[in-house]
Amino acid sequence: MPKTTKAYIAEIKQILIEAKTKAYKAVNYAMVEAYWLIGKRIVEEIQQGKNRANYGEQVINNVSKALTDEFGRGFSKRTIWQYRQFYQMFPKFSIKRSLITVSTRLLISQVKKSVIKEMQSKAKKYQKKKLECFKNPSVLEFLGLSENKG
């Protein structure tokens, strides 16, 4: 292939790569926003219950069953509980947006160390304990990282 052909094909490939990245970010943000909103609604529902412990468990069970029946796999009781935890950990939407942007870059980046440092920096002011959000299994799962048991 002539150099000029290679150059414009490379540009076209780059256009597609960038489009895929934008689409991934948009879908990623929409899904995380949905998980956050589900968590918020669950917290609101549980806080209305008189016996919070039993009522909270009942709410989680009901949501899990209803979503699984309607949408299939992916809505276990544990997952629904994690949505609740996600909202409780990041109760302000603006916090979520900045972390999602960085987490998306983490997932697609080849050089993860600098992105991890940036995420830790942005998350620091929202944490009670150092790296608390990175110890949460739902955050680790969302980021595609394995839970370090050691």
pLDDT, mean of residues 38-66: 83
CA atoms of 134 and 145, how far apart (whole Å): 9
Q: Provide the pLDDT confidence category of residue 149 given band limits of 50, 70 and 90.
A: very low
pLDDT at 30 over 90: no
In the prediction, which pLDDT does 15 show?
A: 93
Q: Provide the pLDDT confidence category of residue 150 given band limits of 50, 70 and 90.
A: very low
pLDDT at 70 over 50: yes
In the prediction, which pLDDT does 100 show?
A: 62
Q: Provide the pLDDT confidence category of residue 99 given band limits of 50, 70 and 90.
A: low
Higher-confidence position of 142 and 122? 122
Q: Where are the chain's structural domains?
A: 3-143
71 Cβ contact list (under 8 Å, min separation 6): none
